[in-house]
Amino acid sequence: MKFVLCFMLVMVVVVQSRKPRQSPHCPPAGEIFCQSYEHQCRTDKDCRRRNEGDICCLRGCKTQCMERPGLKTCPDPSSYNINCITYRDQCQYDSECKRGQKCCLVAGCGRMCVPF
C-alpha cells in the first residue's frame, strides 16, 4: 500500500514537472493538471517559422500558436493598390522589423516591414 501511494506521488510530481514553458506574453494558463500535453508548438520560433502566430502558449492541456496580445494584425494584402513584377520577401518575422513595424504580405510583392 505504501508503495502504491509513493508511486502515485512520484507520478504527480513527474506529470506536473513536464508542464510546457510558455512565452511571458501569453495569457495566464491557470492551474490545470494534465496527464499529458499535446504540442502544436514548443517555442515561439516554431509559430513564426510556420507563420501561424507570434507566440506559443499553453491553452488547457495543449500548446498552440497565437498572436501576441496587443499586436495589430496586417492589413489585407490587396489593400496596397500596387502591382509587382516579382515576388521577394524582405522579412519573415516581425522580430526582423524595426520597433513599430510588422512583417506583412504586401500585394503580390512579398513580405515586408510596414508601420502599424
Structure confidence by residue, pLDDT tens digits, 19-48: 666 777 787 766 777 888 888 888 888 887
- Mean pLDDT score, 55-60: 85
Please give the Cα distance from 6 to 10 (Å, whole number): 6
- 48 CB contacts (<8 Å, ≥6 apart)? 54, 92, 93, 94, 95
* Residue 26: all three cell numbers together: 501569453
Please give the Cα distance from 109 to 116 (Å, whole number): 19
Q: pLDDT value at position 98?
A: 85
Domain boundaries along the sequence of the chain: 22-69, 77-115
